[in-house]
Structure 1
Amino acid sequence: MKKHLYTLGLAVALLSGCSTSQTATQQRISAEEAPSHFAGTITAADLEKHLRILASDSLEGRETGERGQKMAAEYIANFFKANNITGPVSTGSNPYYQEFNLEKSTWGEGYVMVGQQKFSMGKDFFVLGASPFQTEQNTEVVFAGYGIDDPAYSDYTNLNVKDKVVVVFSGEPKKNDGNYLISGTDKMSTWTQDPRTKSAAATKKGAKAVFVITGNTDADFQQMTRRYAGMLTRPSIGFGSTPTEPRAALAYISPTLAANLLNVKPEQLTSYNSSVAKAGKSISSPYKVAANVKIKTERNRQPLPTENVLGYIEGTDLKDEVIVLSAHYDHEGIKDGKIYNGANDDGSGTVAIMEIGQAFAEAKKAGHGPRRSILILAVTGEEKGLLGSEYYTENPIFPLANTIADLNIDMIGRNDKQHEGNFNYIYVIGSDKLSSELHAISENANKTYVNMELDYTFNDPNDPNRFYYRSDHYNFAKHKIPVAFYFNGVHEDYHQPTDDVEKINFDAAQKVTRLVFHTAWDLANRDKRIVVDSNKK
């Protein structure tokens, strides 16, 4: 890997120049010329200048909570300050930092005892995130169907799960005609797409953990959970649980463990799914659960301070309403002595939102400031489970009720195999799922100013890649805030130590960044905020 000989001191010195086109804002610019003029301050050269620092070896892969991530945070905050972009955080020592604690932990001993039979963590089950079973505990088990609590279908009606372990099936129920019960169509819902919805539902009901039955056979289970095996020996990062904010542990369990917990043979488990399909609604549990269950999933923990980096451009007459422009600036750090620089993932998105913030700041300086306020949100912990954006949406600096949209950028400097040799495209995901107006604005911005191919392949609710749920916009979408996600697809260097600056196409990144800027400009300056009129999955 080619070494970049940048230091943070050099990086700060480079910021003194800000944008290569900053002096152009001193000229008089008409309102009609303003969008194109300030989009023009976003250049491939500026994107490259910043990315060569953020994705250099000296930042050590920007691992969440580690030195390189904090160096990146300092660089981004200094950029905001140098460009007259305000730090909006009133608590803490730095107005650009939203500071919070994560938890770094490793697994110790883990098992489930059902009577005298012992099931091992890493073979029969995997726990994701925190665990409430530091020492061996006698545990009451309850079966809760699919673990769904939805207006259209609930497995929790008249069911007490407080302080218990809830055993549920993966996915969601279908009718005999093959359509899903919740949607009434062949489109699955978030109850299938995002397993966190089941742990969240269990948490609200007071459960200690939710065990999700995974696969129809143990061979299925091993295949479907193979990627979790390596996690047992590596430190993981998450929020953890606190006495005031308990989180139900989420575990994937094998059919054999599930059968022992429910006192049936593994091959009898699928009869429940058939019964629900026949009834067309949730049914009472047919199982007499095991009574003598003990669980231990030991977790060795230490606090891990980290920070989101925020830059704010205050609007004019509609300043109380906010458009968020987000990207994650963390990456994978160092593994086996190799630095994972994450130039595309998501250094490219990070420098894009920095340049968009600078363009809006220049517009404001020249008398063309946005009517609505702009929040540039560089989040931490995305690679660990969208943690930084989750923290922001649970602890917003500006009320979510006043947040009209999130435009999220994650990987925009490469192309995938489906677009080999073509850099004039970008996948757009989620733009129509909550607001038809946002989708139309995005389309119009592209047609008017950029003319890229907007590819909606991954917007399909049945897309097996589930990209809609895999980047930071999703934490805004969960709160019914319209989102659009800009993404170039997966390439051969994705999550590899070879994701380096030399492979970035900065002209392509410039076009996408300008597209997002124009979309944000329209959102910020239109008379009425966009409507939330859709509820697509």
Structure 2
Amino acid sequence: MKRLFPLCAVALLSACNGGESTTPAQDTPKKTTQVSFDEQRFRTDIETLSSDKFEGRAPTTQGEKLTLNYLSAAFTKMGLIGANNGSFLQPVPMVSYTASEQQQVNLAGIAMQYRQDIVLGSRHDNQQVSIKDAPLVFVGYGINAPEYEWNDYQDIDMQGKIAIILVNDPGFAHPNDKKFNGNAMTYYGRWSYKFEEASRQGALGAIIIHDTKPASYPWSVVENSWTGAQQDLVLNKTEQDKRVQVEGWITLDIANNLFNKAGLSLPSLMDRAADSALNVDLAQNASIEFTNKADYADSYNVVATLPGSSQVNEHILFTAHWDHIGTDDSKEGDQIYNGALDNASGTAGILEIARQFAEQAKAGNGLKRSLTFIATTGEEQGLLGSRYFAANPLYPIDKTVAVFNLDSTNVYGKTKDYTIVGKGQSELEVYLDKAAASQNRVTTGESNPASGGFFRSDHFSFAKLGVPAVFAGGGAEPLDEATAKYKATMSEQMKGCYHNVCDHYRADWDLSGALQDLGVYYQAAAELGNNQDWPGYYAGSEFHPLRPAN
């Protein structure tokens, strides 16, 4: 994987054909220094960041201010440098769209109950959404993918129409047909892509049919995540004008009723949509009325750098999103989405890794390459902070060697294996293989590739630009019988807590597995930080053309 040239600019990909140096590296890599992570310090960071005082860490709230102060103080104490001209804060211009809970939504003559049947919003700066008798069109999976010879929008004009779309992609429904990537979700299966494509097609609106198994999460996650204020990056007028006027989700039961009203069978159409590209005019209309407001405010990424000794302009990134959902005063009882596992634990993880590298640097064991730690904002709303940093990098993207992303660390004890989400993407995984092997662990892919995990966290914003990026941690096989018993008990306690108010810190979490995983990332980054390798993406990855592996 020895590559001595940085990523060619994405805009020049058609002309990029390498340029590998013929001069071998002269430096002998330093031996990786073993470190011991401080579990109590790690616990304290998780507990503090997910405490009620931090109010669920929603962007642009008091909870954000407390989070930014906490992280900035931690990085300052370590002796790291603020990456934004000395400041740890990178402003991320954001807008919060809040749709009224009192919505009048009628699809095919069926009155919809907000939250119970449907959630809708508008990412437009308008005070009122008013849609009368807009035609409804079923567009299968809502995919336009020339490389798969697939276009669900073939021969249809979506102007003034609302697209009804299936979640995931055809490979999930018919994995044995070798369509797309089989049971492993492609980016075409992600909700973000579906809304983007409907917008490109000129649709007035886009509504995804929620189905728990292909979505990989229950309706409660949709309800909790898609109601209340919805943050987004501020778009220019051209981008804004192209976006669908309304977007949201509908339950599978209500969707079945809608299709029955149109004289059609949704299960039959779902089966056909997985076989080949499909769109069907439902011959039914939608009327939608609700008020909407937009509030503008900057949120912030926290970016701290530990400069390298000789290859100082080459950066290895660690990312973890500090944000969560915030609070919901419409709920009875607990109203705070503390987000302890997701993602106070990942944020605490990059703090602990940063401390260890900083301590080693002070002891004269620093890396040749620079390390940059980014606690991102707005991940829960669509990877907003990482998307903004990737588009407005504080260090050149073509000098970014790799990205290690932490999102929800392992609270279920030590494991014999180590999970790499989307395994098989890049040569960066070789470093993880080696580091895991030093712990007598083997690397494996995720147990549910249909969930599209590789596209669901901040590393993806960098992968889209060709930077090798990994999202890894935990494992499926507990270390021993006692750990397996604990995991079963804790898994039952944590059931249903993803994006829910019960995701709070638990003093009885076994964090030994999380500390194991921090060690894998640490060792992998330490080795990469002391050599001249530029890992690339393997042939077969959609990112291979951007930075190809040797």
TM-score by length of 2: 0.73
> Do the aligned partners of residues 115 and 483 (structure 1) sit closer, same or farther apart at CA in structure 2, a change above 3 Å counting?
closer
Aligned to 1:84: 79
1:414 aligns with 2:419: no
Aligned to 1:201: 197
Match among 524, 527, 533 for residue 522 of structure 1: 527
For residues 137 and 167 of structure 2, what CA distance do their matches in structure 1 show?
16
| Aligned partner letter, 1:84 | G
For residues 281 and 52 of structure 2, what CA distance do their matches in structure 1 show?
56
What's the CA shift string for 1:32-51, capped at 9, x where partnerless?
A: 775215x34x4334434544
1:428 aligns with 2:424: no
RMSD over aligned Cα atoms: 4.1
Report deviation, 1:438: 1.8
For residues 83 and 307 of structure 1, what CA distance do their matches in structure 2 show?
20
Report deviation, 1:202: 1.8
What's the CA shift string for 1:195-244, capped at 9, x where partnerless?
A: 2221122223333322234569xxx99x9645545678x62332177534
Structure 1 range deviating more: 485-494 or 302-311: 485-494
For residues 294 and 198 of structure 2, what CA distance do their matches in structure 1 show?
23
Match among 139, 144, 147 for residue 139 of structure 2: 144
> Do the aligned partners of residues 251 and 331 (structure 1) sit closer, same or farther apart at CA in structure 2, a change above 3 Å counting?
closer
Report deviation, 1:530: 0.5
Report deviation, 1:124: 4.8
For residues 350 and 256 of structure 1, what CA distance do their matches in structure 2 show?
38
For residues 51 and 175 of structure 1, what CA distance do their matches in structure 2 show?
35
1:438 aligns with 2:428: yes
2:303/2:372 contact within 8 Å kept: yes
For residues 59 and 530 of structure 2, what CA distance do their matches in structure 1 show?
35
1:108/1:299 contact within 8 Å kept: no
Report deviation, 1:460: 4.7
Number of residues of Structure 1 aligned to a counterpart in Structure 2: 482
Report deviation, 1:147: 0.9
What's the CA shift string for 1:389-425, capped at 9, x where partnerless?
A: 333334433344443322112333520xxxxxx4355
For residues 505 and 338 of structure 1, what CA distance do their matches in structure 2 show?
26
Report deviation, 1:376: 0.2
Specify the SS of the correspondent of 2:247: strand
Report deviation, 1:443: 1.4
Aligned to 1:22: none
> Do the aligned partners of residues 298 and 426 (structure 1) sit closer, same or farther apart at CA in structure 2, a change above 3 Å counting?
farther
Specify the SS of the correspondent of 2:288: strand
Aligned to 2:70: 75
2:108/2:262 contact within 8 Å kept: no
1:256/1:266 contact within 8 Å kept: no
For structure 1, the 5+ residue unaligned runs are: 1-29, 416-421
Specify the SS of the correspondent of 2:230: strand
2:418/2:474 contact within 8 Å kept: yes
1:106/1:301 contact within 8 Å kept: no
| Aligned partner letter, 1:98 | P
For residues 60 and 383 of structure 1, what CA distance do their matches in structure 2 show?
15
Report deviation, 1:141: 4.8
Aligned to 1:471: 457
Specify the SS of the correspondent of 2:32: helix
What's the CA shift string for 1:331-362, capped at 9, x where partnerless?
A: 45456456655444433322221232233334
1:340/1:497 contact within 8 Å kept: yes
For residues 459 and 524 of structure 1, what CA distance do their matches in structure 2 show?
30
TM-score by length of 1: 0.74
Report deviation, 1:103: 0.7
Specify the SS of the correspondent of 1:136: strand
Aligned to 1:484: 470
> Do the aligned partners of residues 129 and 258 (structure 1) sit closer, same or farther apart at CA in structure 2, a change above 3 Å counting?
farther
2:29/2:527 contact within 8 Å kept: no
> Do the aligned partners of residues 362 and 431 (structure 1) sit closer, same or farther apart at CA in structure 2, a change above 3 Å counting?
farther
For residues 348 and 120 of structure 1, what CA distance do their matches in structure 2 show?
36
For structure 2, the 5+ residue unaligned runs are: 1-26, 476-489, 543-550
2:81/2:305 contact within 8 Å kept: yes
For residues 344 and 167 of structure 1, what CA distance do their matches in structure 2 show?
33
For residues 108 and 70 of structure 1, what CA distance do their matches in structure 2 show?
27
Identity %: 23
> Do the aligned partners of residues 50 and 110 (structure 1) sit closer, same or farther apart at CA in structure 2, a change above 3 Å counting?
closer
Match among 475, 496, 505 for residue 500 of structure 1: 505
| Aligned partner letter, 1:165 | I
1:114/1:261 contact within 8 Å kept: no
1:212 aligns with 2:212: no
